[in-house]
A and B are shown apart, each in its own frame.
Chain A
Amino acid sequence: MMEFDPFVLARLQFAANISFHILFPSITIGLCWILVFFRTRFTLTGDKNWEYAYYFWVKIFALTFALGVVTGITMSFQFGTNWPGFMEKTGNISGPLLGYEVLTAFFLEASFLGIMLFGKSRVSNRLHLIACCLVAIGTTFSAFWIISLNSWMQTPSGYVLEDGIFMAENWWEIVFNPSFPYRLTHMINASLLTSAFFVIGVSAWRVKQKVDGPATWKVIKTGVAMAAVLAPLQIIIGDLHGLNTLEHQPAKIAAIEAIWETERGAAFTVFGFPNEAAKETEWAIKIPKLGSLILTHELDGELKGLNEFANEHPPVAPVFWAFRIMVGIGTLMVFVAWWASYVLLRGKPVSNALLRTLTWMTFSGWVAVLSGWYVTEMGRQPWVVYGLLKAKDVVADHPSATLMGTFLGYIVLYVFLLISYISTIRHLSRKPAQSLISVHEYPDKPLQKKRTS
């Protein structure tokens, strides 16, 4: 049997876990605020359809949240099981940040989720609304702290090194490190966009299945309005984030753009196959000067090439590709969101083509979020704390057979869960809208839920 490098296996395992985990928070962070919006609209207008929209989506929220929680628990242990050296060296900094996440976010969301889901008949409308808000605030706090830690690993500041151990010097500088504001806004907005396309996509599918009601259309309008504003905003935030990365992590930018040699007035490579051994991009389609223009906002700006970083730059091809997938989907989101808002604003009948496109885009946010994270995380390699600590120096020394076994176990579990998750959403979405049931009284689906309350 082939002998695998334990370092590669430890990384693969961690990457698989964190990739699977991020799928669910990237929906729940945004979806929770959408639910708060539905609940608030219902409270203010008394329109039952907002309540129906809330009930439909809160079920999917609960399911997604559960997946996020259990895969998140895995993360909190895997820092130790896979990267004990990371904790020994950066524990003074990463520990408190993770600790604040548990204290200010995890308990808040997990506790008030009980009221949000099951407490409607036991508490006042006001308290229920407050509980929904607290869950939403909790999910956002959680993003705040974990992104702060991740950003600190990318752009470390506020520390001193004593015998190879990181010591906290200034907590403000640690938490609000240089890349943090950009990464946080980029991620929160990504989550709002992911959830917007998710609710639009599922609703469009319901329209096609003819199980929609007035509530479904309220959801579509809410989602499209969000997407039409946030998708272009994301491009602006992304651009700012890129400038920040150029300042602090030039090697990452060089890999993203596959710039092999430092040059002025660098071209932008739209497409191509970076070949790291030959140090060239094959089949490249380039637009002259655009690379420098985008990144330095000057036609003749200088961009550092990979040659400046010897062997300490990230793998080029995956970062290059992941970046293009993210940007491609982001651009597609703008077009689709504007197309849908144009149709909706004009009050035109919604064509089948639009409905089909929206359905295809249901999980587009996932692909964009994952590729975005691959850009930033692979782009940090070979460092775990940029410029200071290498990933290979902090890995645990488990036998590769053990790692292989648990890795395969996780993969089997995750594939099974992902299939179950998507097919359950399909199952839930196939049920007729509550607002339709009240009109037609579907014989096979009596209104059990309503009668008990």
Chain B
Amino acid sequence: MEYWLPLFFVFVIGFCLLVYVVLDGFDLGIGLLLPFASDQEKDTMVASIGPFWDANETWIVLGVGVLLIAFPSAYGLVLSSLYVPVTLMLMGLILRGVAFDFRVKAGDQHKSMWNKAFFIGSLIAAVSQGWMLGAYITGLLPGMIHTLFSALIALTLPALYIMLGSAWLMMKTEDELFTKAVRWAKQAILPMGIALFMVSIATPTVSDEIARKWFSLPNAIGLLPIPLASIIAYVTIYYLLGRLDILKAGYAWLIFAGLILICVMAALGLAYSIFPDIVIGQINIWSAASATKSLQFVFVGLVITLPVIIGYTIFIYRIFHGKATSLSYD
């Protein structure tokens, strides 16, 4: 029990953050793309994420919440080390979340201001998340190289969100906006590849132990499917973006699926690198864990509610399935 419970909680945190990156990733991506669309397209783009964004954002609250519940000391350490990017991200999320409503309700003369706020908020949030990821996988350590590395991730992670956003638009829109989405994706795929590559090679360089885990022999062979699957997904996406005919025939979801596969593989790779630590080189999973009694209390709740939450999330995505229509309260 004392061995397995913390592991279960680490898995839940990882799962929540992965779901968050994919789901809020696509709506943050749409925020990043907003300035490049015409006024009418802006409305369609926002309409395509309207019913979902709120719940999407809740996944990060759950991820951070479970970190707090299960590993309070790690929660304190991570969040106080990342104080500045966390604060910036929150301000970005605030600006973006309210711009959603204000842009249609505040009156036409203010609409372009709120569109800008939506973009800027999304940008600040995406860049800060990249920075946080960069700082986290280099062990939350200070130093020039670490800062540079965090900055690099901060600048490239938004490319993943742009890819997710474009892929979402390919599924949800038609005609000109669809073509634009394909063009945006073509421009973002290379920076995204660089970001993923950098993250992949950075973790082994942080500590010798992680390097040994990856590059020693029998392990390296067993791990091969992770980079391999990522590369296959990446190449497939690259190929599909050149084949408008296939995408238009209703296979645009393949791009989104490919991106999900890449995210899952990246998460698996990261998890393998970091395990059994929760803050690399500083705290491991069991020393950071809460009292077993507290974990049991929440375990029961998680086992019951998480499947229900996943169930109604799928249910709601199905209700709003298909091409986006203009948002209306009627």
Contact = CB atoms under 8 A, between A and B. Distances in A.
B87 A409 contact: yes
A92 B294 contact: yes
Interface residues of B, number: 63
B119 interface: no
B68 to A, nearest CB: 5
A100 B94 CA distance: 23
Given A91-B75, A413-B94, A114 B80 contact: no
Contact of A79 (B68, B70, B329): B68
Interface in B65-88: 65-66, 68-70, 72-73, 75-80, 83-84, 86-87
A168 B293 CA distance: 7
Interface stretch (A58-66, A226-234, A283-291): A58-66
Nearest to B109: A427
A270 interface: no
B52 A114 contact: yes
B10 to A, nearest CB: 15
Contacts of A100: 298, 301
B93 A73 contact: yes
Given A81-B83, A88-B72, A103 B319 contact: no
Contacts of A55: 329-330
A398 B79 CA distance: 12
A158 to B, nearest CB: 11
Interface residues of A, number: 69
A81 B80 contact: yes
Interface in A56-103: 58-59, 62-63, 65-67, 69-74, 76-77, 79-81, 84-85, 87-88, 91-93, 95-96, 98-100, 102-103
Nearest to A101: B65
Nearest to B66: A99
A95 B54 contact: no
Contact of A92 (B86, B93, B291, B312): B291
B90 to A, nearest CB: 5
Interface stretch (A120-128, A184-192, A246-254, A332-340): A120-128
B58 A106 contact: yes
Contacts of B107: 424, 427
Interface string A15-37: 00000000000000000000000
A450 B293 CA distance: 55
B61 interface: yes
Of the listed residues B98, B100, B290, the one surrounded by the most CB atoms of chain A closer than 10 A to its CB is B98
Q: Rank and list the top 10 A-B pairs by shortest CB-CB distance, nearest first.
A: A91-B72, A84-B76, A114-B51, A80-B79, A95-B69, A70-B97, A453-B330, A92-B294, A110-B54, A110-B55
21 contacts: A62-B101, A65-B54, A66-B54, A76-B65, A77-B64, A80-B80, A81-B83, A91-B73, A95-B70, A98-B65, A98-B69, A99-B298, A106-B62, A110-B54, A110-B55, A112-B312, A117-B329, A118-B50, A402-B83, A409-B91, A424-B105
Given A168-B297, A402-B83, 11 more contacts: A59-B329, A76-B65, A77-B79, A80-B64, A80-B78, A91-B75, A100-B301, A110-B58, A118-B320, A120-B330, A413-B95
